[in-house]
Structure 1
């Protein structure tokens, strides 16, 4: 499977470039500029508030993941690690690898073993992994007609896909209730969460992704013509496509997917909304993360030099 992964990524990126090239020919970049300048200050503040909420939840849940993986309670260390590793990992691409390397660097300094850090990485990814499915499936079932138009499928097919997906989601909860032994992946035991922990993961993930969706939704122009709940499925599908591509921040893939699924939105205005979304959800947090990481490395280097001097003295 690994040998085919690069082909999948290249194919998805190629499709994204083809769609963007086709759509860019019809875009008036004056529309992009006007969409950005027309955003009310209150809307921008709401987007910033949603973004802050996402990262606050990510940081809080990271502390839960550390407790589940190691039995230790270190909420401040976990919060700092999460708000550094997530934006930088997303910007670099291959977020599980790049974000995982950052987590190892920071948690090793706090005394966690490599096995504990690996378990934290897996547990930290679970809210996204499971909640995206729930949100897509529920949105398809509750907004079937709108989703059918966006996905260019029949309403019956959308309902069928939503029902199959929901059965899968309920099946995971059933598995959690019945399975008590840890899963073993390549010799690495991964504890199966209790129903309580699984409920926390699901609740945190649903709220995180709803807020992520809300950031883009508040920036979209009125031509979107759909409710926030209906928009959730569209966003999640585009977001998953970007994540699967492993292109840094899903750049180009997210835009291409949205352009395909939202033909009623003028391309210039849609790209303007996505640019505002990326600025609030990706660029600003990335700047904060880089600053915090530089502070961490500076403090670590100072501590190392101090210990060396004390030993020599």
Structure 2
């Protein structure tokens, strides 16, 4: 009897916590979207897109869709890694929504909070969600280390004179990045200790085969993002240079913590590529890239998010094994 009495206040607090979290999302997300979208010059976006042939925009949007699907594979790898039984048809739209919100708002809302909320509503427990999320983060940055390390080490990006790092320094950084990525795979292959306990969470090394798949999938996604910008640039644009500049600007955006990297992406591209092509062409391509890769998916993701919120209970009850 005493256990039952003690569980009632705990259940009541849990219901209050879930209600407060729901209220937070339904208030915070519209507010964050408003502040983010009000700073966009929609006439500029529309003008930039009108200057491109329709076939090119369709191709760029197709590459963007492929990139989003590639990112969804991060969590599908997490599904394999944890062994949870949520259907793939539920995981893909969930991750699509989180990625679009992550890109346009910030990692805390889209990457963390929204992922935990939607997964938990579909029946996954917190430890399983944490393991899926951690594997997704590692997949993204292991792919980045492999790809950026190779691009920098091979000298595919030439820094302007006066930059503190310098071209030699950038090459050395690239070598160090490749070494770090190799060390991760070696640890997955040969480490005798496979798991660590951090508070209530267990961190477990994946197999070396899964680590290699992580590297390939993560690198592919970064590569596809650069393809979109490259397609929108003039014909003389050199893809490896575009890729390298995107990789530099992405890490700069993470460091500055600016949602969607507003201003950072443009500054890095103009600084590093303005001697290779007109500034107007660069700006048009970057505006088009933001519209195709950030804004259009955000509109779709908002609709998908509302559907997920509405159908979450039905989808959860349809899962035969709801947690990991």
Q: Do the structures match in fold with TM over 0.5?
A: yes
Residue 91 of structure 2 corresponds to residue 47 of structure 1? no
Distance 2:189 2:222 in 1: 24
Contact 1:51 / 1:211 at 8 angstroms: preserved in 2?
yes
Residue 246 of structure 2 corresponds to residue 245 of structure 1? no
Q: How far is the alpha carbon of 1:236 from its aligned partner?
A: 0.6
**Structure-2 change in CA distance of 1:272 and 1:232 (3 Å):** same
Residue 229 of structure 2 corresponds to residue 229 of structure 1? no
Q: In the alignment, which residue of structure 2 is the partner of 1:254?
A: 265
- Equivalent position SS for 1:112: coil
1:170 to 173, 182, 191: 182
**Structure-2 change in CA distance of 1:270 and 1:226 (3 Å):** closer
Q: In the alignment, which residue of structure 2 is the partner of 1:87?
A: 100
Contact 1:63 / 1:74 at 8 angstroms: preserved in 2?
no
Residue 175 of structure 2 corresponds to residue 136 of structure 1? no
Residue 163 of structure 2 corresponds to residue 112 of structure 1? no
Tell which deviates more after alignment, 149-158 or 117-126.
149-158
1:69 to 72, 82, 95: 82
CA shift digits 1:85-126 (9 cap, x unpaired): 110122221x14433222222211222101111111111122
Distance 1:122 1:150 in 2: 38
Q: In the alignment, which residue of structure 2 is the partner of 1:195?
A: 208
Q: How far is the alpha carbon of 1:145 from its aligned partner?
A: 6.2
1:281 to 289, 293, 303: 293
Number of aligned residues: 271
Distance 2:61 2:314 in 1: 34
Q: Where does structure 2 lack aligned partners over 5 or more consecutive residues?
A: 1-42, 317-324
**Structure-2 change in CA distance of 1:126 and 1:132 (3 Å):** same
Q: How far is the alpha carbon of 1:150 from its aligned partner?
A: 8.5
Contact 1:48 / 1:280 at 8 angstroms: preserved in 2?
yes
**Structure-2 change in CA distance of 1:260 and 1:36 (3 Å):** same
**What TM-score results when the alignment is normalised by the length of structure 2?**
0.75
- Equivalent position SS for 1:183: strand
1:124 to 136, 153, 161: 136
- Give the number of the structure whose residues are more often helix, by fraction: 1
**Structure-2 change in CA distance of 1:172 and 1:263 (3 Å):** same
**What TM-score results when the alignment is normalised by the length of structure 1?**
0.77
CA shift digits 1:239-272 (9 cap, x unpaired): 1211232221111222222222223243332221
Q: Where does structure 1 lack aligned partners over 5 or more consecutive residues?
A: 1-29, 305-313
Contact 1:50 / 1:211 at 8 angstroms: preserved in 2?
yes
Q: How far is the alpha carbon of 1:60 from its aligned partner?
A: 3.1
1:57 to 70, 81, 90: 70
Distance 1:60 1:266 in 2: 37
Contact 1:67 / 1:73 at 8 angstroms: preserved in 2?
no
